[in-house]
Structure 1
Amino acid sequence: MSSKHFINDPTHLVSSALHSLTLTNPNVALDAANKVIYRRPRDDGAREQVSILSGGGSGHEPSFAAMVGPGMLSAAVAGTIFASPSAEQVRAGIASRVDHERGVLVVVMNYTGDVLNFGIAVEKARAAGVPVDMVVVGDDVGVGRAKAGKVGRRGIAGTVLVLKIAGALAAQSRSLEEVAKVARLTAENLVSVGASLEHVHVPGRAAADQDGALAVGEVEIGMGIHNEAGSGRGKMDLPELVGKMLAQLLDPKDEDRAFLNVNSNEVVLLINNLGGVSVLEMGGITTEVVSQLRDAYGIKPVRILSGTYMTSLNGLGFSISLLNVVNTDIGGPGMLELLDAPSEVPGWSAPIRKETWEANNQAVREGTSRVTEEVKPSGLKLDAAAAESSLKSALDRVIAAEPEVTRFDTVVGDGDCGIGLKRGAEAILKHISEHSLTGDAVVDVASIVPVVESSMDGTSGALYAIFLNALVHALRGQSTAGEATPKVWAAALKQSCDALSKYTPARPGDRTLVDALYPFVEVLGETGDVKRAAEASRKAAEETKGMKASLGRSVYVGGSLFEEVPDPGAWGLATFFQGL
């Protein structure tokens, strides 16, 4: 649990975050005193509609304030972090920040403070003659019937599906009765469960002790969005975790949690980021959830929404929500149509159009043919057996040096140089074990280029790919020599260095792999002796120790660590030359 924040004053944090919405969304205004974000009044003849108001404690952004706008909420009332807004705040929102002509629907999550404070405001509004209704959403199955008792299920991320569907229906000028009916129907057909790797810290509070902290590799299933305890914790990998979560949502034999019989042909899946999971990991989580739904339950969701909808500050977790799509029985739009309807709010993300989902396009492009032409023999001959033996020796040397190169790169870079070189070396070894060298220098080097391009990424991978492509061209220019002598290789390598220099400003002295490359090429051209050229390369690589970097990630590494180790890229290349 991190207790570090850029803004540690919770009052200032909430007020400034609410104000930011008025800067990024021209549709909304802020009642700062009551912490109410509301739609600005319009005089462009827009149809009158039922007003929808929601809200709750702050810390769940983008819910709820970022969901105010055309097609969704009319207003949202914010409390302090993880605490319900007061009844007076909600009353002010209903009384003076939304239109009453068609009525007001209040949607709130099932937490005691929210239900009571929003309920007080609703009763006050009714007493004042405002047509108002209230829907309470409790979609969380993380705490079962026995433990929840009379309180019932908590409201979590599935609530945003209720807000979206109700908001879209209201935008069609349907009655308060119809909008409230569909909102309740949506809530009744909704189940959610969350999981997290850690509790979160609230800005402004003292850092809590770590007695309740989760151990490394441990996850809590059913944790609430205010750090409330879930149904249990344990060490498990993602597939096992997702399996347990789906069982809580879908197992009809679990009498404590079988809140919904998902028997519809149409199911909506919402995978929600609790705030601290990377987009990359959310992608992996989404794939796992969809795969298990299909394989274990035969469910293929008609809509899959994955992103950040309702957070728990920077919670290191995610939640899964399933909506059973049922007939709305209002003689009009169905749940899917309402879910797909356009909205103009920053907190709702569903960029895929209804028509695209329903087209169900399964077409793929077949084949793996390359756009490059087949390399023709050049007539530049070499001893295939000797060349293959030397190349294998060099590649084996690079693989053996991986721990050393990785250690160097961990000190002055991001630690991936050794792994990248090893991956490339192993791929080339595999290639030549399956496709022996032909004895034509151009054909053999050209056959290695795509292997390097597909197996080595990052900056070094690009540099090697450029250099080798240029080497193929340079060797073809030397084909009249008939034999690939050291002098021919040196001339071609020099030409490749010139080509590489067009794409990178790296030169000897900049602490890069170029420091090991240029001396090898220069001495080979002068002497024709590969061993002496390799020794010159090794010496130059050693001299990069203490050399201050001018290019690459090492530039950003502070301190004097560069004085202790050579440049990893230069060392790896020198190792290859020594193997030759």
Structure 2
Amino acid sequence: MSAKHFINDPTHLVNTALHALTITNPSIALDAENKIVYRRPGHTPQVSIISGGGSGHEPSFGAFVGDGLLSAAVAGTIFASPSAEQIRRAIMSRVDSEKGILVTVMNYTGDVLNFGMGVEKAKAAGLKVEMLVVADDVGVGRKAAGKVGRRGIAGTVLVHKIAGALAAKGASLEDVYKVAKLTAENLVSVGASLDHVHVPGRALPDPNSDENLSAEEVEIGMGIHNEAGSGRAKVDLPELVKRMLAQMLDSKDEDRAYLNVNSNEVVLLINNLGGVSVLELGGITAEVVGQLEKTYNVKPIRILAGTYMTSLNGLGFSISILNVVNTNIGGPSMLQLLDAPCEAAGWAAPIRKETWEAKSTQTREGATGAEEEAKESGLKVDSELFKTQLSAGLDRVVAAEADVTKYDTVVGDGDCGIGLKRGAEAVLKLLSDTKLSGDVVLDLSKIVQVVENTMDGTSGALYAIFLNSLTHSLRQQGSGEATPKIWAAALKQASESLSTYTPAQPGDRTLIDALHPFVETLGSSGDLKKAAEASRKGAEGTKGMKASLGRTVYIGGSGFEQVPDPGAWGLSEFFLGLAGIKSTESEYEMV
């Protein structure tokens, strides 16, 4: 693992990399505030295609914005989903919406939730939007993936290319969505890596940790966020490729038999995860092609080898196979769409000289969609008491960051604590700078906006959805004093609303294990302290609980036996502070 970087500040790194895209392709522009790369206006209206996700996967997704490919891409911080607000702005103000919009997202919880919320907000505003979740990775089988399902990895770029070419030809949203979905359903991918990657700005890992791969080991099925795969092995390249192809193509493997290659037309994509030399990638490509023909009698009609979706400077590669099938739309074939010219810096096609000579300076500025001012609800709280209690809960979240980060380092990717702290500090600043009105709906609406703009990833999406629903539920309670009974009823409604966006239930080892007992106990007792204590008990109960959802599903190992779920622990800290219960020393130490 290389921990040396030319740019160690992750925020500066992402922002400057996005700016660089506008330098290398004059047909695209950047909304720097919201990290949206989009096509400059002036082209013929068509179905717009938007994608995105965490940064660190370049050239996906920003460098695939251009004529014949994506219309816009939304970037999060490194390995973390962009916020729903960024996505909403991209959908509603940075692309043409006349002929409809297709939003494509890889199957990661944070991405699905945040993009889903952005899509729903756009639909509510009257836009015609479809969303497609791509899940092509077979590195984790059906049993291990559980409710989460397969991850999305490099095969996603083939969905983008084919859908983008069809949209450029003037196809309807219905046909673009249909062909994109058909492409995704006929894709399988798997990756392998010789090492984890180091994220700029993060502390160096423990060199003695069991998480590190030895010099002889390779991780088969490693994800694009450092997640573990199906296992480690000490194998040479031919044996590694043999195992990877078996995971993709062995019809007898019921846990991974996702695709039946029944066509004479197969597209092969060999993707560099960022740190493999061009020379070595050539050798890998030759090995894969040779084994496909010898073992499976498959001769790809198109072979793409290069850097399409990285994991920073990951020392690995992935293999994707697309089974080319009939689109049944009476237009160009899947292969013709793949071959169609495009103009995007990340795709193997040059920028036309006409584009350089045009020297377009047009941008999309101004309106970002109607911003509704919240109306008074008449539901009142003691503003000073509300501020004091809320601040106590948020202060406790900030103080717990080190513990939450430590737990998330064991069972996740280490960013949960930082994300919670960032959101808590932003709300504390709001409370410090703003005089609360005492109308709980108005005050909570302001807090929700801060959460949406400062918290990303899975936690940010869950909190934003829950708080938006809580605001709506409180408004439905009528006017008067916001009693514990009213809060309990609104919290229960918000919890039920949240369940429509995530399958998480108590026992799945998520923040729901802390939220559910708080809501239920407050409803039955009306006692905030008892509810907070129930939340902490629920969070403590996640220690030793095997995860059914979240990134922990892919990581595996015994870390879940050592520490509680980071998200549940962080939420219980907030509730304890809210109830005025003093902080204690952390009960858990990493083993």
- TM category (shorter chain) comes to 0.5 to 0.7
Superposed CA RMSD: 0.8
- Say if 2:151 is the partner of 1:154: yes
SS of aligned partner of 2:102: strand
CA contact (8 A) 1:55 1:77 kept: yes
In structure 2, how many angstroms separate the alpha carbons of the residues matched to 1:23 and 1:346? 10
In structure 1, how many angstroms separate the alpha carbons of the residues matched to 2:21 and 2:13? 13
SS of aligned partner of 2:75: strand
Q: TM-score, normalised by structure 2?
A: 0.59
Deviation at 1:316, TM superposition (A): 0.1
- Say if 2:194 is the partner of 1:207: no
Report the counterpart of residue 256 of structure 1 in structure 2: 255
- Say if 2:307 is the partner of 1:308: yes
In structure 1, how many angstroms separate the alpha carbons of the residues matched to 2:206 and 2:13? 24
Deviation at 1:240, TM superposition (A): 0.2
In structure 2, how many angstroms separate the alpha carbons of the residues matched to 1:24 and 1:267? 32
In structure 2, how many angstroms separate the alpha carbons of the residues matched to 1:227 and 1:121? 27
Letter of the aligned partner of 1:81 in structure 2?
Answer: I
Deviation at 1:150, TM superposition (A): 1.1
Q: Give the alignment of 1:245-324 within 5 angstroms.
A: 245-324=244-323
SS of aligned partner of 1:191: strand
Deviation at 1:205, TM superposition (A): 0.2
In structure 1, how many angstroms separate the alpha carbons of the residues matched to 2:217 and 2:170? 49
Match of 2:183 among 183, 186, 202: 186
CA contact (8 A) 1:305 1:350 kept: no
CA contact (8 A) 1:138 1:153 kept: yes
CA contact (8 A) 2:139 2:247 kept: yes
Deviation at 1:244, TM superposition (A): 0.2
Letter of the aligned partner of 2:167 in structure 1?
Answer: A
The structure with the larger Rg is 1
SS of aligned partner of 2:189: strand
Report the counterpart of residue 518 of structure 1 in structure 2: none
Deviation at 1:299, TM superposition (A): 0.1
CA contact (8 A) 1:110 1:155 kept: yes
Letter of the aligned partner of 1:220 in structure 2?
Answer: E
Question: Once the two structures are superposed, what CA deviation does each residue of 1:208-230 show, in whole Å capped at 9, x if it has no partner?
Answer: 11311111121000000000010
The runs of 5 or more residues in structure 2 that have no matched partner are 351-591
In structure 2, how many angstroms separate the alpha carbons of the residues matched to 1:141 and 1:350? 29
Report the counterpart of residue 491 of structure 1 in structure 2: none
In structure 1, how many angstroms separate the alpha carbons of the residues matched to 2:200 and 2:220? 24
Q: TM-score, normalised by structure 1?
A: 0.60
CA contact (8 A) 2:188 2:320 kept: yes
Letter of the aligned partner of 1:205 in structure 2?
Answer: R
Match of 1:59 among 56, 61, 68: 56
Question: Once the two structures are superposed, what CA deviation does each residue of 1:66-87 show, in whole Å capped at 9, x if it has no partner?
Answer: 0000000000000000000000
Letter of the aligned partner of 1:141 in structure 2?
Answer: V
Q: Give the alignment of 1:53-92 within 5 angstroms.
A: 53-92=50-89
SS of aligned partner of 1:347: coil
Q: Give the alignment of 1:497-508 within 5 angstroms.
A: none
In structure 2, how many angstroms separate the alpha carbons of the residues matched to 1:349 and 1:226? 25
Letter of the aligned partner of 1:311 in structure 2?
Answer: T
SS of aligned partner of 1:140: coil
- Say if 2:34 is the partner of 1:34: yes
Deviation at 1:333, TM superposition (A): 0.6
Letter of the aligned partner of 2:86 in structure 1?
Answer: Q
Report the counterpart of residue 240 of structure 2 in structure 1: 241
Deviation at 1:350, TM superposition (A): 6.0
SS of aligned partner of 1:166: helix
Letter of the aligned partner of 1:94 in structure 2?
Answer: I
CA contact (8 A) 2:343 2:349 kept: no
SS of aligned partner of 2:90: helix
Letter of the aligned partner of 2:258 in structure 1?
Answer: F
Deviation at 1:139, TM superposition (A): 0.1
Size of the aligned set, in residue pairs, is: 348
SS of aligned partner of 1:95: helix
Report the counterpart of residue 98 of structure 1 in structure 2: 95
CA contact (8 A) 1:269 1:320 kept: yes
Seq. identity, %? 77
Deviation at 1:47, TM superposition (A): 2.7
CA contact (8 A) 2:341 2:349 kept: no
Question: Once the two structures are superposed, what CA deviation does each residue of 1:502-554 show, in whole Å capped at 9, x if it has no partner?
Answer: xxxxxxxxxxxxxxxxxxxxxxxxxxxxxxxxxxxxxxxxxxxxxxxxxxxxx
- Say if 2:93 is the partner of 1:110: no
In structure 1, how many angstroms separate the alpha carbons of the residues matched to 2:317 and 2:206? 24
Report the counterpart of residue 345 of structure 1 in structure 2: 344
Question: Once the two structures are superposed, what CA deviation does each residue of 1:186-216 show, in whole Å capped at 9, x if it has no partner?
Answer: 0000000000000000000001113111111
Deviation at 1:2, TM superposition (A): 1.0
Report the counterpart of residue 400 of structure 1 in structure 2: none
- Say if 2:208 is the partner of 1:197: no
CA contact (8 A) 2:342 2:349 kept: no
Report the counterpart of residue 428 of structure 2 in structure 1: none
SS of aligned partner of 1:130: coil
Report the counterpart of residue 386 of structure 1 in structure 2: none
Letter of the aligned partner of 1:259 in structure 2?
Answer: Y
In structure 2, how many angstroms separate the alpha carbons of the residues matched to 1:12 and 1:90? 21
